[in-house]
Structure 1
Amino acid sequence: MQAENISSLNQQLLTLKSSYLGQPFLSLDGRLELLNHLLTRLVESQQAFVVAADKDFNGRTDFDSQIGDILPTINGLKYQIKHLATWLRPDKRHSGIAMWPSKVWVQQVPKGVVGIIAPWNYPIQLALLPVFTALSAGNRVMLKLSEFTPHVNQEVKMLLADIKEHCVVVEGDHTIAAEFSSLTFDHLFFTGATDIGRKVMQSAATNLVPVTLELGGKSPVIVADDANIEHCAKSILLGKLTNAGQICVAPDYVLVTKKNKTVLIDALKKLYTSHYPHGKDDKKLSSIISEKQYARLHETLHDAQEKGAVVWPDIQHGESTVVNEKAPFRMGLYLITNPTQDMIALQNEIFGPVLPIIEVESVESALQYVELSQRPLASYLFTQSKTLQDKVSQSLRTGTLAINETILQVTIEDSPFGGVGHSGMGQYHGKEGFLTFSHGKSVLASDKVARVRTSLLLKQSKLLLDPLKALFLK
């Protein structure tokens, strides 16, 4: 987007607002027609999206694009189509004896025009799923795409090209994003880094625009003494190497007791070399999206090694000096053992295939470590103990929790997804997503009895006050 287009953002917003005011409550049939049209277009565009993502990432596996980006989006859209009629039904409430026989209900209505800012790591799912959810709630949408995925962006624009009265697409760098987040939307939805989310929230606050922030953070893995180590290692590898670890809920570090530490490290090494025998050149691995991100990850590794941690494989003789021309920023798994708090690896979200492993005295120590840290978007617990599972599920402050799994909790459309504290605010997926983009309007409808009640209230009559006192104070 050219600089002169910044001034057009407000005009595009005004056009969408006019469209909304012309039809503020799209019927169920109208919404279903729109969503089914988008579903057909998305299914038809699958391969084009796979090719586009491979170009943007300089090497992204078909599996990662399908499993992480395309299929979850299709699944989420189908879920909305299936349940939309139920979500739209008025929710009847009780008026109470004092307001009898009035009728009360909650009607879910669109918020208006929603702004959505999408990230680069899952440029299909994290752009389209919020869009589809906002549309199912009856809103108009203005979508800001990441400047780092131009090929996917082109496919997204083609997909949405014929519904411009419902959704418009914006591209541009961080200056456009800053301008975008200051617009007078009726709701603003942001997915991305915590530091950027803070700026988005500050911009939205100027106009009192409500926000949903889907951020990130350092998602811990807690390994109890009774964990199935082989399964644990497989799950960690899945979470850490899917999309090259560029996932907001990827395992960021492991907390493990001395009993299982060596066994777990050995299992991770064995599984990695078995599943990816060609290391970083293995075609089953996706690439880091850019040279900047690749350099950042290697800086993290060098920092850890220079400060005394053990890095495997040894980066002095490893892949950091090897460049694959077909996938120049592809990166394999790295383990950091004996990390300390002064290392970059334990200070910032890693967002790549680098895994610090921290030894703790007990599971209690691990839980305390997490509680004293900023609230994570996801936490992972490996244990066979139902008592420990219940304790952690009830007490650990985290956006989501997966027990004996990693990352797969985000694929369940019937389960809400969102962070807490520094990892975000608000939720989406399934019905919670629909509610995020809706306003629950309370409606009171009275009949002829209301005339008598209103007259008594207006007169401040004891004929009404005495019965009410008897009713409420008994």
Structure 2
Amino acid sequence: MLPTDTPASALSSMLTRQRDAHHRKPFPDWPSRADRLKALRALLTENETTICDTINADFGCRPTEEVRLLELFPALSSIDHALRHGRRWMRPRRRFADVWFMPARTELIAQPLGVIGIIVPWNYPLYLAIGPLTDALAAGNHAMVKMSEYTPHFSALLAKLVARYFPAGEVRVVTGDASIAQAFSALPFDHLLFTGSTTVGRQVMRAAADNLTPVTLELGGKSPAIIGPGARFAHAVERIVYGKSVNAGQTCIAPDYVLLPRARVEEFIHTARRVFTRMFPNFADHAPYASIINERQYRRLLDLRDRSVAQGAIAHALADVQDDARRRLPLTLLTDVVDDAAVMREEIFGPLLPLVPYDSLDAALEYIAMRPHPLALYLFETDRTAQRKVLRYSQAGGVTINDTLYHVAQHRLPFGGVGASGMGAYHGEVGFRTFSKMKPVFRQSRLNGIALLNPPYGKRFQRMLKLLIRH
């Protein structure tokens, strides 16, 4: 039986307890932060099997291999990266003062913000909880984590484990439905990170605005994959099929549609079918392929597909089995999709993949530019001139060239959206800075000439001011 959800009435007192604990030690030293990160690492490594089994229970079928590769590994890797580099991130950044203020000195001190709120989606419930929590703890903060009601078993497990590995004043996990999430986002956190849909992101931002709480929004959108004229075509198809098939396409940075040369659409379909069959042989017989999270999402995807077909699209399922009982939907390509179809306007978040033919790379770039900025963009192209062109004339949260998904796994690259796909970023040192106040400090020298600018504003002052303005 699942434990009772966190009551909304308890959220304020929970935040107060976190804030009080932070005030008692507002700038924890590196050994204290490292201990918290090591506790987080132990939580994952000592409970790996239970974690994988619980996420599988929430999905109905979520291959252990995918959980370990796409959630556990990057979560542990992010913790290890913070443990290796966090002490250096903490060091004050010393600078020379501007020449007119010499010999004064300046520096930036990474001050912990306080209590960080983290709202976690259901699609990668482990990694999208642990990733931002790692950055928040490395930066010396306390944290409250709101889990998704769509993953009740794992949410309950993480709440229990966090209570076992952390004092209540350091990290707390909150469970509950959308009403709890609304109350959570309205709390006066020192920073709030939300990962989820653009629609809900707007609601979170409105709630945070009442408290002037700064937000990092990791949203989504329609991430394109471009197969350029000079692409290694078979490689491009394989990597796109992979990026759209893991977790059954329930990935915020999964390719949402493919732009490809008009003459190669049929070749893409045939190649994709071979690749999918090779990756998931015997699809009907418990192939390691994720289920859609729940019946509501499954029916939404079927409706997107069927409405597209009703408008003239052709559906090309890459396996012959549609398993309604286990909500397993094979990757399905869509051709001849009209531009105003829902599948071309809404983020798909599942194994449907429209193919959009183009006549020139410029036309493909114009197609992308006319739409809201995506969270990710994938380019398959060997020609460096074409690569530079796409990078200069497209806007996206992040880009992977000649592969899919993997820009998000780089600790030294920020992860974040732009425009409708989000604001702000985290991961590694960027995440450390996101959850810190980079406090500027000006240290005046004992010997200085600043008194020359004091009133009364006589001739000496005018000469000094004239000199300052001239130079």
TM-score normalised by the shorter chain: which range applies? over 0.9
CA distance in 1 between partners of 2:284 and 2:182 (Å): 36
Q: Which whole-Å deviations, capped at 9, do the CAs of 1:180-229 have from their partners, x for residues lacking one? A: 11111111100000000000001111111100000001000111122111
Matched-pair identity in %: 37
Match of 1:399 in 2: 397
Q: Does 1:106 align with 2:104?
A: no
Q: Give the drift of 1:111.
A: 1.0
Contact 2:63 2:289 in 1 (8 A): yes
Q: Is the alpha carbon distance of 1:461 and 1:159 closer, same or farther for their aligned partners in structure 2, counting shifts above 3 Å?
A: farther
What's the CA shift for 1:50? 0.7
What SS does the corresponding residue of 2:256 show, helix, strand or coil? strand
Secondary structure (helix, strand or coil) at the match of 1:251 reads coil
Residues in 2 aligned to 1:461 and 1:167: alpha-carbon distance in whole angstroms = 59
Deviations 1:248-278 (A, max 9, x none): 0000001111232221121111211233232
Q: Is 1:123 matched up with 2:125? A: yes
1:2 to partner: Cα distance:
6.3
Aligned twin of 1:370: 368
**Higher alpha-carbon deviation: 343-352 or 277-286:** 277-286
Superposed CA offset, 1:71-99 (max 9, x none)? 10000111111111111111112212322
Q: What amino acid is the match of 1:140? A: H
1:232-381 alignment runs, 5 A limit: 232-313=236-317, 319-320=321-322, 322-324=323-325, 328-381=326-379
5 Å-filtered alignment, 1:3-14, equals 5-14=7-16
Displacement after TM superposition at 1:455 (Å):
7.3
SS of residue matched to 2:7: helix
Say which of 406, 411, 414 aligns to 2:412.
414
- Quote the residue 2:229 is aligned against: 225
- Local SS of the residue matching 1:225: coil
Which of 50, 63, 68 lines up with 1:48 in the alignment?
Answer: 50
Deviation of 1:123 (Å): 0.2
Unaligned 5+ segments in structure 2 are none
SS of residue matched to 1:342: coil
CA deviation after TM superposition for structure 1 residue 100, in Å: 1.6
Pick from 201, 207, 225: which aligns with 1:203?
207
Amino acid corresponding to residue 448 of structure 1 in structure 2:
R
Once residues 270 and 318 of structure 2 are traced to their aligned partners in structure 1, the CA distance between those partners, rounded to angstroms, is 16
8 Å CA contact 2:6, 2:175 repeated in 1: no
How many angstroms apart in 2 are the aligned matches of 1:457 and 1:116? Answer: 48
| In 1: Cα distance, 2:71 partner to 2:367 partner | 32
State the Cα distance separating 1:38 from its structure 2 match.
1.8
Deviation at 1:461, TM superposition (A): 5.5
* One-letter code aligned to 1:467: M
Seen in structure 2, the aligned counterparts of structure 1 residues 255 and 118 have a Cα distance that, compared at 3 Å, is same
Match of 2:425 in 1: 427
- Counterpart code for 1:276: F
Asked if structure 2 preserves the Cα contact closer than 8 Å seen for 1:88 and 1:108, the reply is yes
What pairs up with 1:51-90 in 2 under 5 angstroms? 51-90=53-92
Return the offset for 1:37.
2.2
Q: Deviations over 1:26-76 (max 9, x none)?
A: 111111122122212222121111111110110110111011111100001
Unaligned runs of 5+ in 1: none
TM-score (norm 2): 0.95
Amino acid at match of 1:185: F
CA distance in 2, matches of 1:357, 1:314: 14
1:473 aligns to 2:439 (yes or no): no
In 1, Cα distance between the equivalents of 2:288 and 2:96?
57
Aligned residue type for 1:351 = F
- SS in structure 2 at match of 1:441: strand
CA deviations over 1:96-153 (Å, ceiling 9, x no partner)? 2322221210101011111110000000000111111111111111111111112212
Q: State how far apart, in whole Å, the 1-side matches of 2:457 and 2:144 are.
A: 50
Q: Aligned with 1:397: secondary structure?
A: coil
| Alpha-carbon distance between aligned partners in 2 of 1:384 and 1:225, rounded to the nearest angstrom | 9
Q: 1:123 to 1:4 in 2, by over 3 A?
A: closer
In structure 2, how many angstroms separate the alpha carbons of the residues matched to 1:76 and 1:253? 30
Q: Distance in 1 between matches of 2:158 and 2:309?
A: 42
Quick one: which of 23, 26, 41 aligns to 2:25?
Answer: 23
Counterparts of 1:25 and 1:4 in 2: how far apart (Å)?
A: 29
Q: CA deviation at 1:454?
A: 4.2
Contact 1:20 1:140 (8 Å CA) reproduced: yes
| Structure 1 outlier segments of 4+, above 4 Å | 1-4
CA distance in 2 between partners of 1:301 and 1:177 (Å):
30
TM-score (norm 1): 0.95
User: Which position in structure 2 is the counterpart of 1:137?
Assistant: 139
Letter in 1 for 2:425: Q
2:318–2:333 Cα contact (<8 Å) kept = no
In structure 2, C-alpha distance between the alignment counterparts of 1:173 and 1:6, rounded to whole Å? 10
> How many residue pairs are counted as aligned between the two chains?
467
Q: 1:253 to 1:394 in 2, by over 3 A?
A: same
Q: CA deviation at 1:319?
A: 3.9
